[in-house]
Amino acid sequence: MLYLIGLGLGDEKDITLRGLEAVNKCEKVYMEAYTSLLSFGLSTDGLSTLEKLYGKPITVADREMVEEKVDSVLSEATSFDVAFLVVGDPFGATTHTDLVVRAKELGVEVKVIHNASVMNAVGICGLQLYRYGETISIPFFTDTWKPDSFYEKIQRNRELGLHTLCLLDIKVKEPTWESLCRGKKLYEPPRFMTINTAIEQLLEIEQNHGESAYNEDTNCVGLARLGSEDQKIVAGTMRQLLAVDFGAPLHCLVIVGTTHPIEEEMLNMYKLKGEIIDHKDHRTA
């Protein structure tokens, strides 16, 4: 059997009791390590902390393994119980949906154990979850590639008065273009998009489109290290958040839509000093 086990967002202690019981009975344990990370990242100390609590050696499953060599994992799951650990909830990334489909095609039984993810933990900022529109992902710009297809999604959300959750890019074990051209993979250092970089890119896209979907005075909420002991949440305009040091990853950003008075009360708990979030229609602010 293949167990897909959500780890939650903070550290090794966020696994559910049901998830821990499943890990304990599995002969092999993998940890997916490229769609998200726990607060301690992928350091040797961090992995040993997981292994100590879970009582099992853990094999890190990077992008290359998950996307190219996952059949070997599924083959193992036909003979014995295998755990596949996922930060957040198992279905927070489409990769894991594909894993379930492939397992079913091979006749492998799958059991999913859910946990908290950014999709629900973001509610701590006070914006009601059912008032969110489509979630977007913001990738790193390069000199030759500046994707902006998500602009229309933000625009559509704001026209409807809905909030927009922006998931920010992470780069873990990404091969360099030069190495790919030479046929020998060399990997770039890990990179994690900050809220500041995301806002800079969003404003550049708005300047290029010029359709006033948002601007520097648009209210947003920056959230860093959700679920960890040192999580940081700040509400303010895009301009204001650009000057905030949110610290270590992972970061995400919410573009605020039209707010209810109760939402505003909660947002004002996180506002920058001297600023007040009001309930006007934020499509023009």
Q: Of 22, 36, 135, nearest to 81 (Cα)? A: 22
- CA–centroid distance for 218 within its chain: 22
Query: Using CA atoms, how far apart are residues 97 and 282, in angstroms rounded to an integer?
Result: 35
168 annotated as belonging to a binding site for a ligand: yes
The answer to whether 222 is a known ligand-binding residue is: no
Residue 129: Cβ-neighbour burial (10 angstroms; 0-12, 13-18, 19+) = exposed
Query: Does the annotation place 60 within a ligand binding site?
Result: no
CB atoms within 10 A of CB 186: 10
Residue that has been written with the tokens 């303010």 in this structure: 236
Q: CB of 36 within 8 A of CB of 87?
A: yes
Calculate the alpha carbon distances from 270 to 23, 213, 275 in Å: 38, 24, 10
251 annotated to a ligand binding site = yes
Q: What residue numbers does the annotated binding site cover? A: 9, 89, 92, 117-118, 168, 226, 251
Q: Which residues are annotated as a binding site for S-adenosyl-L-methionine?
A: 9, 89, 92, 117-118, 168, 226, 251
